[in-house]
Amino acid sequence: MGKAEGPTASRAYQLTKDKIIRNELDPRQKLSEIELAKELDISRTPVREALIMLEKDGLITRYEGTRGFYLKQFSLKDIQDLYEFREMIEVAAAARIIENVTDRHIGELAAILQEVETIIEDGRPADALVKALDFHIHCVQTCTNNPFITYALRNCYEKLTVVSWTCHDINACISGAKEHHEILDALRARDLNKLVERSRHHVHRARDRMMDTLKLGTKRLYFMP
C-alpha cells in the first residue's frame, strides 16, 4: 500500500503532538523521522517539518551534543514559570470571557465536564487528564475570540499536560474536576470576581499538586531539577 494521499506537515504536526500530549512517546528515546513517517503512513519530509514546528512550540528540543529531537525536559523553575504565566493570562482574559460567554458555551463546557466525570468513574485518570485539557482550551477559544490569547494559553496548557503525566492519579483528577465545576459556576453566574478567584484557586492547587509530586521524584523524564 502506498503512502496516504496529500500528506501535509500540519497533519503530521497534529498527529505527533497528540502522541506527545497523550504520553505515547518515550522521553528517553530520540524521535525517529523514519519510524514516525512509517507509523503515520506519510513521507519523511512533512514529519521533519512537523518536528521543527513542535520545536518552536517548545514541546521537543535538540540537546547540545546530540543529534535529532527529544521530548522537552522541563525544570522545576520552568513549571513554576508556566503556572505563573497561566495565572496572569487567565486573569487578564477573565473579563473578556465573562463578556462573551453564552448559554451555548456554558452547555458545551458542561458537556465536556460530564465526559470527564464519566471517564473518572471508569477509573481512567490518564484519559481524564487529556479530556480536561479540552475544557480549558474550549473555554478560551470560544469565549475570548482572540487567537493570540488562545495560542498562548493552549501552548501553556499542552506543556503542563505533558508534565502532569507524573501525577495523574484519580484523587488529583477528582480534585481538578471539582475546581472545574466551580469555574463553570462562576461563568454561569457571569460573576467576574468569582471567576478570577476560582481560576486562581485552580491554578494554585494544580501547581501545588504537581510540585509536591515532582519534588518527590518520578520515573519519567519530563522534568529536571
Over residues 95-107, the pLDDT tens digits come to 999 999 999 999 9
Cross-strand partners of 224: 75
Taken in order 15, 137, 90, 216, the sign of the CA dihedral is negative
Mean pLDDT, to the nearest integer, of 76-81? Answer: 93
Percent of the chain at pLDDT exceeding 90: 68
pLDDT, residue 225, reads 41
For residues 94 and 105, the answer to whether their CB atoms sit within 8 Å is: no
**In what helix (H) or strand (E) does residue 7 lie, and over which residues does it extend?**
none
Mean pLDDT, to the nearest integer, of 24-50? Answer: 90
pLDDT, residue 218, reads 52
Assign 3-state DSSP to the chain and report helix, strand, coil percentages, each to 5.
70, 5, 25
pLDDT, residue 221, reads 43
Q: In which band, very low, low, confident or very high, does the pLDDT at 188 lie, cut at 50, 70 and 90? A: very high
The answer on pLDDT for 2 being more than 60 is: no
Q: In which band, very low, low, confident or very high, does the pLDDT at 212 lie, cut at 50, 70 and 90? A: confident
Out of 66-70, 88-92, 116-120, 200-204, least confident range:
66-70
The Cα 172–Cα 120 span in angstroms is 10
The Cα 98–Cα 167 span in angstroms is 31
Q: Residue 168 — φ and ψ, nearest 5°? A: -100, 50
Q: In which band, very low, low, confident or very high, does the pLDDT at 167 lie, cut at 50, 70 and 90? A: low
Rounded to two decimals, the pTM is 0.86
Higher-scoring residue by pLDDT: 92, 1: 92
pLDDT, residue 4, reads 41
The Cα 213–Cα 184 span in angstroms is 27
pLDDT, residue 156, reads 96
Residue corresponding to grid cell 485518570: 125
Percent of the chain at pLDDT exceeding 70: 90
Q: In which band, very low, low, confident or very high, does the pLDDT at 217 lie, cut at 50, 70 and 90? A: low
The Cα 17–Cα 49 span in angstroms is 13
93: left (phi over 0), alpha (psi -120 to 50) or beta: alpha
Q: In which band, very low, low, confident or very high, does the pLDDT at 215 lie, cut at 50, 70 and 90? A: confident
Tell me the residue ranges of DSSP E strands in the chain: 60-61, 70-71, 74-75, 223-224
The Cα 70–Cα 4 span in angstroms is 26
Residue ranges and CATH numbers for the domains of the chain are: 9-71 (1.10.10.10), 74-224 (1.20.120.530)
